[in-house]
Amino acid sequence: MNKKDIKILLAEDDPNLGFVVQDSLKSQGYQVTLCEDGISGLKEFNNEHHHLCILDIMMPKKDGYALAEDIRSINSDVPIIFLTAKSLKDDVIKGFKTGADDYVIKPFSMEELSLRIEAILRRSGNTDSDSNTASIFEIGLYTLDYKNLSLAGPSAERSLTRREADVLRLLCINQNELLTREMVLNIVWGNDDYFSGRSLDVFISRLRKYLSDDAKLKIINVHGEGFRLEVKK
């Protein structure tokens, strides 16, 4: 599905922030409907099919938690992202228990929000099969079948976990170029905290082993920056 076909419901009571987010996402090609309170947000959701909802938590008439619960009672699958200044652990846990797929703390960058949206839409199958979402990648002696989570090599075919496939796909797209840790973590894990970073290091180690039969392939660690999949001719 192309971005121009993806409809996003944005419920945000701060008119300035709402306009900035709506304008930015529209410039990327998304269709975005902005509502300034939970009641109008619920009405809009009932009147139109949406592929993703972005909800502020502190809204008048109906807060984001209540709106998310109502949305979940209508559609249990539509992805939900919370935008909020409430950063305490209990608030985050409540957000996920309410049914959120992601939780973005204010203030945030539009680049970060865009990466999170793309990651969620990709996982839910609402993205187009263009150069950034291709399914088959040829790297050296290996073939990554991203859609079917498999890596075929010179000696065997290996099944991959979803995150292994996600990380390897990003390396393939950016082969011979720097892939920053921040980008990988935000796209695959949805955050770039310490624990996700340690998990990423484990996944990189696994992928190095999976590609070890081809001496012309190396995943290089660029200290303090990220990784590079080096593919020699």
Domains of the chain: 3-123 (3.40.50.2300), 136-231 (1.10.10.10)
In this predicted model, what pLDDT tens digit does every residue of 98-149 receive, in sequence order? Answer: 878 888 888 888 888 988 898 888 877 664 434 444 578 999 999 999 889 9
In the chain, what's the furthest Cα-to-Cα distance?
Answer: 62
* Residue 200 exposed, middle or buried by CB count within 10 Å (0-12, 13-18, 19+): buried
Taking 70 as the pLDDT cut, the residues of the chain under it are 1, 125-134
pTM here is 0.55
Please state, in angstroms and rounded to a whole number, the distance separating the CA atoms of residues 204 and 146.
Answer: 17
Scored b (16 or more CB within 10 A) or e, 19-38 reads eebbeebeeeebbbbbbbbb
What one-letter code names the amino acid at 22? Q
Who contacts 204 (Cβ-Cβ below 8 Å, separation ≥6)? Answer: 167, 219, 221, 227
Cα 37 from Cα 163, distance rounded (Å):
36
